[in-house]
Amino acid sequence: MNLNEVYITRTASFFPNEPVSNDEMETFLGVINDQTSKSRRIVLRNNKILNRFYAIQPDGTPTHTNSEMVALAVRKLFENRPEELKEVDLLSCGTSSPDQMMPSHAVMVHGWLPDSNTIEVVSPSGVCCSGMHAFKYAYMAIKLGEKSKAISSGSERLSRILRADQFELEVKRLVELEENPFLAFEKDFLRWMLSDGAATFLLENKKSETGVSLRVDWIEGFSFANEAEACMYMAADKNSDGTLKSYMDYTPTEVYEKSILSIKQDVKLLGENIVKLGFKKLKETIVKKGVDVNEVAYFLPHMSSHFFEDKIYDALKEYDIEIPKEKWFTNLSYQGNVGAASIYMMVDGLLNSGKLKVGDQILLAVPESSRFSYVFSLLTVC
């Protein structure tokens, strides 16, 4: 069976509104119990994020939905030739923060594109890896000859549920019980980590005639959920045995009083596992695929925080796949952690940097802490 080559021929990113600096964050997210967060400066010092983007106004009024941001990023792919949108035959969209539980995220994106055709859409679920799963679905569809022109995307819009008003009932209950009225660190931690935005790839079965293309050599994913309990979760709470209790098994009052719908992260589990579990698999994949790591021109690691930079470097060194930091490319400090969209934004930034040369190999690494999943990919400039 002859398989098609697959190329990323165009990329685009969309950021809502103006960048928000560290000093402006609580203007948008608010303060809890009339007290400035004690963890904010500690978290920001470690993650080294200087700017991020929010799809809300300072009073919390939304400016964009998640699906709308993806559609705007899609349109940027075709800003020079809008009619080309009608040639797309697949839309594959990943996110951890869809605007609603039903309908699916991708069909809502499709709804913002009334000038497109009736096409296949797919909505991989997950967290940071969901964007890569969307990418792989599009890649496989073109590889097999099922489709010829596909769009994949990653996006997030979490700022609205990070606002202080989402936690008021929980804090009020703690005050009434005469317990510590501060929000638990597992919830407060993530308020200073996340950013909103969307980014897209256009994938085709032939190279671009007008610019640089990225050949997709392979995409490999792994889950360690058989070994590790959930680390980051939303619309659930964790039981003492490590299992999750769904929001559906709480009363409506409990859901609000305990802010069950908030996003939470077990920071201890994160530190113990996120690098250790995944990067051994990267070594195995590189060996299996016959990649000479010395030939890699750029390494794009998705990191939630610069805290993990040295830890990833040490892991690469330990597994004898060291990549010098001068080959690393990241946008974390000035665009923030945009979850499923981050790797798309890094590829977009690198593709438009003017640095790439034909033959350059680009290695992507996307860890996901929710229950420790990883996706790796190799691209070649052509």
| Tens digits of pLDDT across the chain (382 residues) | 789 999 999 999 999 999 999 999 999 999 877 778 878 888 899 999 999 999 999 999 999 999 999 999 999 999 999 999 999 999 999 999 999 999 999 999 999 999 999 999 999 999 999 999 999 999 999 999 999 999 999 999 999 999 988 876 665 555 554 565 455 667 777 889 999 999 999 999 999 988 899 999 999 999 999 999 999 999 999 999 999 999 999 999 999 888 899 899 988 899 999 999 999 999 999 999 999 999 999 999 999 999 999 999 999 999 999 999 999 999 999 999 999 999 999 999 999 999 999 999 999 999 999 999 999 999 999 9
Residue 202 sits in the same domain as residue 287: no
Total tally of structural domains belonging to the chain: 2
**42 lies in the same domain as 138:** yes
* pTM: predicted TM-score of the whole model, two decimal places: 0.94
Question: In this structure, are residues 373 and 309 in contact, taking their beta carbons and an 8 Å threshold?
Answer: no
Give the C-alpha separation, 360 to 379, whole Å: 8
Quote the domain boundaries for residue 290.
Answer: 218-225+266-381
pLDDT at 1: 73
For tokens 């008003």, the residue is: 165
What SS3 state is found at 182?
Answer: coil
What are the φ and ψ backbone dihedral angles of 192, each rounded to 5 degrees? Answer: -105, 10
Distance of alpha carbon 226 from alpha carbon 209, whole angstroms: 45
In whole angstroms, what is the distance from residue 185 CA to residue 237 CA?
A: 14
Rama region for 308: left / alpha / beta (φ>0; ψ in -120 to 50; rest): alpha
Q: Cβ of 254: how many Cβ atoms within 10 Å? A: 12
Residue 314 counted as domain residue: yes
CA atoms within 13 A on the CB side of 109: 33
Q: Kindly state whether residues 26 and 103 are assigned to the same domain.
A: yes
pLDDT of 17 reads 97
* Residue closest to 310 by CA, chosen among 44, 48, 130, 51: 48
**Are 114 and 26 within one domain?**
yes
Alpha helix segments (H runs only) across 258-363: 267-289, 309-318, 332-335, 342-351
